[in-house]
Structure 1
Amino acid sequence: MLAPQRQQAILELVRRHGGVRVVELVRAFGVSDLTIRRDLETLAGRGLLAKVRGGATIVSTAVGSTHEPGFAVKAVRQEQEKRAIARRAAALVRPGSAVALSAGTTTWTLARHLAAVPALTIVTNSVRIADVFRHTGRPDQTVVLTGGVRTPSDALVGPLAVAAIRQLNVDVLFLGVHGMTVRAGFTTPNMMEAETDRALVKAASRLVVPADHTKWGTIGISTIAELGEADVLISDPGLPPPAREALAEHVGELVIAGPPGA
């Protein structure tokens, strides 16, 4: 396949799925990592896609409070930061706990760490997160999937989800968020998802928010919880000093998760 043909095929994949990873493209086209990265640079230079760490996403001009990127788009953003955050978050979970994970790519990354923790009961409104635990095949883990209507970010929301959650009590909730500010708190661009997430917050004895630095200053249309409701917020070294100061004043504990050994 000639380079222009391959680049057109890559562009079609990005448009179809919202985002792609370099490793996936290497396998799909049977070329080197360097070749794929050059293709992405060429396409990005023409304004046809946006390069992110480890892959590429569609070019979006939508920045409003109701813009909701799809799961594939978000999955290739801040991957290294999300892995570090997930490692720190997983250390907070004890065997035998009842743990809730809201939908999101950071909580999905966390799920892969929790899959090795014995005797967990997992409550989630994410099919993708439920699949992580299903594939482990551990008989000592129980997964409760709420049901509901699926959003663009693959969250299950709506009356069915809320009704299921209201019957439950969990030890800790790991809440994925779209944005966070002092004024608006933790927010999402989907109002139905906010309602479902608020039900999860009420069901939890402890609230932990794993959120990379890009979430700071972003505001979704609907508030899930105030900053002060978070017992722990886990972010990464990219979080700027003013944000750290503001968050430290409001959340119970601010944790900065760096790479292994940092």
Structure 2
Amino acid sequence: MSDNQNLLAEQRRALILDEVRRRGGVRVNELTRRLGVSDMTVRRDLDALARQGLVAKVHGGAVPVSEPSTHEPGFEAKSVLEPGAKDGIARAAAELVRPGAAVALSGGTTTYALARRLLDVPDLTVVTNSVRVADVFHEARPAAGDARRAPVVVLTGGVRTPSDALVGPVADRAIRSLHFDLLFLGVHGLSVEAGLSTPNLAEAETNQCLIRSARRVVVVADHTKWGTVGLSSFGTLAEVDTWVTDGGMSGEVRAEAAEHVPGLVVANGPGA
């Protein structure tokens, strides 16, 4: 390889690293379009950056490593993390919902996956502070003449976070006036010491309101969230009735989690 080619590779990797840090994650197909190179070239660049400890490779892309507790990745960045696990979790969580229920879905990529699984459950009332979740139901509205009844969707309003959740006083007031049978809650992290946590202070307040308005709290989060701690705690493990997760935990970790969340549900893999 010539010196010029070496320089070009270094320039590409610098651009990729900047994108990862600025956006909180990147997809391989996005980088191939932006840089005008092949998938194989991008994957080699990501391998090189991962060997240097600058990024962590995930399915379909890469994310930053060793982020501080205040770091809040965007929705697109989080969507590349554990996609198969999220699909399995969404399928298992959807089985907890009965026709005619009033359910709340917080912001997050796992609750977004769950929303798509709830489209076939009749007569739902859905409360959400997630723009993405609301869009799932809006885009799936029955066509004129279709006998199916569209779910009633209540979008709380509020200030939009990087993960497309609506938070703050407006959202909090709307949520406090409502009562729902089930809350499906996405989290940044959960641990014995810190409970449920998020990097976003305003989101923590809004999540507290969601928990208080729910008869039953179901956390939907993959195994990588166990032991992760964000800046602000908003609930204890004792407030969680059920945690729906994937099978990526070791037996030891699963036993520890089950001690603190008796309603532990481990989903099968995607498509199972």
Q: With structure 1 as the length reference, what TM-score do the two structures score? A: 0.86
Q: 1:24 to 1:96 in 2, by over 3 A?
A: farther
1:63 pairs with one of 65, 68, 78? 68
Q: 1:27 to 1:115 in 2, by over 3 A?
A: farther
1:220 pairs with one of 213, 218, 230? 230
1:99 pairs with one of 100, 103, 124? 103
What corresponds to 1:52 in structure 2? 58
Instruction: Report the RMSD for the aligned CA atoms in angstroms.
Output: 2.6
Q: Matches of 1:198 and 1:6 in 2, distance apart? A: 43
Offset at 1:13? 5.0
The answer to whether the aligner puts 1:150 opposite 2:160 as a matched pair is yes
Q: 1:161 to 1:61 in 2, by over 3 A?
A: same
Offset at 1:75? 1.4
Which runs of 5 or more residues in structure 1 are unaligned?
A: none
Opposite residue 80 of structure 1, the aligned amino acid is G
Query: Secondary structure at 1:164's aligned position in 2?
Result: helix
> Kindly, what percent of the aligned residue pairs are identical?
58
What corresponds to 1:117 in structure 2? 121
1:103-182 alignment runs, 5 A limit: 103-138=107-142, 139-182=149-192
Alpha carbons 1:49, 1:56 under 8 Å: kept = yes
Query: Secondary structure at 2:134's aligned position in 1?
Result: helix
Bigger Cα displacement from structure 2, 35-44 vs 190-199: 35-44
What corresponds to 1:18 in structure 2? 24
Offset at 1:69? 2.2
The answer to whether the aligner puts 1:186 opposite 2:196 as a matched pair is yes
What corresponds to 1:259 in structure 2? 269
Alpha carbons 1:228, 1:252 under 8 Å: kept = no
Alpha carbons 1:44, 1:51 under 8 Å: kept = yes
Which runs of 5 or more residues in structure 2 are unaligned?
A: 143-148
Opposite residue 194 of structure 1, the aligned amino acid is A
Greater gyration radius:
2
Residue deviations 1:237-257, cap 9 Å, x none? Answer: 112333322221222411111
Offset at 1:118? 2.2
